[in-house]
């Protein structure tokens, strides 16, 4: 995890579903994010899997997909 002036970044490359979403939700729930959350991952993330998981009521997250960063 690293911080920039406007976001908290987490590196999730190499994680398989559902670990991707679990890591994002744990970061949000852990209270470490008081601004935007940028998740860096190397695979498709289906947000439809999050429906009904309670994600809708959590702090908004920004998801960014970057390869090779």
Q: Kindly report the number of other CB atoms within 10 A of residue 22's CB atom.
A: 13
* Residue 6 structural domain: 1-37
Q: What is the mean pLDDT of the chain?
A: 74
Q: Residue 9 has what pLDDT?
A: 92
Residues making up the chain, counted from first to last: 69
31 domain-assigned: yes
Q: Give the count of domains, the chain.
A: 1
63 domain-assigned: no
Contact 38, 7 (CB under 8 A): yes
15 domain-assigned: yes
60 domain-assigned: no
Name the DSSP class of 58. Answer: S
Give all strands (DSSP E) within 12-58, no chain letters: 36-41
pTM of the model: 0.62
């Amino acid at each position: 995890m690293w911080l920039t002036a406007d976001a908290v970044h987490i590196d999730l490359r190499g994680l398989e579903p559902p670990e991707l979403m679990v890591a994002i939700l744990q970061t949000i729930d852990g209270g470490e994010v008081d601004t935007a959350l940028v998740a860096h991952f190397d695979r498709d993330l289906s947000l439809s899997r999050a429906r009904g998981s309670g994600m809708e009521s959590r702090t908004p997250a920004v998801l960014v997909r970057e390869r090779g960063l």
